[in-house]
């Protein structure tokens, strides 16, 4: 197993980045966090996460924009990271309909700066966040990493697919080990305020109605944050390798002749949105006022992760149920906001 002890986590003040940094630090690794602390959602939440990380001796936060080429060049030259986990991104499917340029700035320009830094510093492994949204118009369930994903239905999804392709080119040209992780609807404590669980909890506690799209029939492979982090850490310690069985005559979209690999990380158990709301109502002891609405542009009716490759290669199978995970979020929310 490759020793990966000095790690750059981009988006470290974000939801997943915070949890990953805490886990790596608990294992005695050195973590440099990178975050721009923008106002896509309440920066106070990012500052609160960062303050907890900065209590660790092995942690340092760099406040910079990964789209800043010079800043990224200097960071990689100075630090000599063993591994990089790129979690920084302009997130959100719906926001990409109103602010497309923020996606190209961060998800494309920023990501090529990370790739360049990894190449020049000869980083042992780049792990990067992709998304279940890359499956786009695909309807065959469960979504498999071996299926073609060339029909995105949002610019966010297209930018994530582009990240996978960009990483492949660097893996091919420079033998840079790269692994992309397609996350499926992550939730849990310290979650993002623009995500359904946070929005619903806030609205229900404030006696406001919640918008329930696709009349609650939407299905999502809701994945608890601890399961995501366990998957990321296991993959980080297994740098991607060329697939000896890969053939250009019948190319497998999940692997390559280069050291490049794609995995799904999901709960492998899709649940209807209406059930998600029911579990939340039970935890809050309060019924939601539901504003039932049709599907939104850029959304998909269902997500369902085939995690066979992840289980085979890492031995890990996400298993946290909604009935276990949602109460932990509610407990955090009540404590953090004192409600």
Q: Show the tokens assigned to 320.
A: 């946290």
DSSP code, position 288: P
Compute CA 132 distance to the chain's CA centroid, rounded to the nearest angstrom. Answer: 9
Instruction: Say how far apart CA 24 and CA 46 lie, in whole Å.
Output: 18
CA nearest 1: which of 113, 88, 83? 83
Residues 6+ apart with CB under 8 A from 147: 135, 138, 140, 253
CA nearest 190: which of 42, 5, 29, 61? 42
Q: Of the residues 156, 263, 304, 333, which is catalytic?
A: 156
Instruction: Say how far apart CA 139 and CA 233 lie, in whole Å.
Output: 30
Q: Let me know: does 225 contact 286? Beta carbons within 8 Å.
A: no
Give yes or no: 135 in active site.
no
Q: Let me know: does 85 contact 40? Beta carbons within 8 Å.
A: no
Which 3 state secondary structure label does DSSP give 325? helix
SS3 content of the chain, % helix, strand, coil (to 5): 40, 15, 40
Residues tagged active-site: 156
């Amino acid at each position: 197993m490759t020793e990966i002890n000095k790690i750059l986590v981009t988006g470290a003040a974000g939801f997943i980045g915070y949890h990953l940094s805490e886990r790596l630090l608990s294992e005695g690794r050195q973590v440099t966090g990178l975050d721009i602390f923008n106002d896509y959602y309440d920066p106070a939440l990012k500052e609160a996460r960062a303050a907890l990380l900065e209590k660790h001796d092995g942690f340092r936060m760099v406040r910079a924009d990964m789209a800043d080429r010079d800043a990224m060049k200097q960071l990689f030259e100075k630090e000599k990271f063993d591994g990089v986990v790129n979690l920084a991104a302009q997130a959100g499917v719906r926001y990409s309909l109103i602010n497309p340029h923020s996606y190209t700035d961060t998800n494309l320009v920023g990501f090529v700066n990370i790739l360049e830094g990894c190449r020049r510093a000869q980083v042992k492994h780049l792990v990067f966040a992709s998304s279940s949204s890359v499956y786009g118009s695909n309807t065959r369930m469960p979504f498999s990493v071996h299926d073609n994903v060339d029909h995105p239905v949002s610019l966010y999804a297209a930018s994530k697919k582009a990240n996978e392709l960009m990483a492949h080119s660097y893996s091919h040209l420079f033998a840079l080990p790269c692994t992309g992780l397609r996350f499926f609807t992550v939730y849990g404590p310290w979650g993002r305020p623009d995500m359904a669980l946070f929005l619903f909890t806030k609205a229900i506690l404030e006696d406001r109605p919640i918008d329930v799209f696709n009349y609650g029939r939407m299905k999502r492979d809701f994945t608890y944050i601890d399961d995501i982090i366990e998957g990321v850490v296991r993959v980080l310690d297994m740098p991607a390798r060329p697939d000896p069985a890969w053939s250009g005559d019948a190319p497998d979209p999940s692997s390559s002749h280069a050291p490049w690999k794609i995995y799904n990380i999901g709960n492998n158990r899709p649940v209807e949105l209406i059930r998600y709301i029911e579990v939340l109502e039970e935890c809050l002891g309060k019924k939601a006022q539901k504003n039932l609405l049709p599907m939104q542009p850029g959304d998909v009716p269902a997500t369902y992760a085939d995690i066979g490759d992840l289980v085979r290669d890492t031995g890990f199978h996400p298993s946290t149920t909604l009935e276990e995970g949602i109460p932990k979020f509610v407990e955090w929310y009540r404590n953090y906001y004192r409600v």
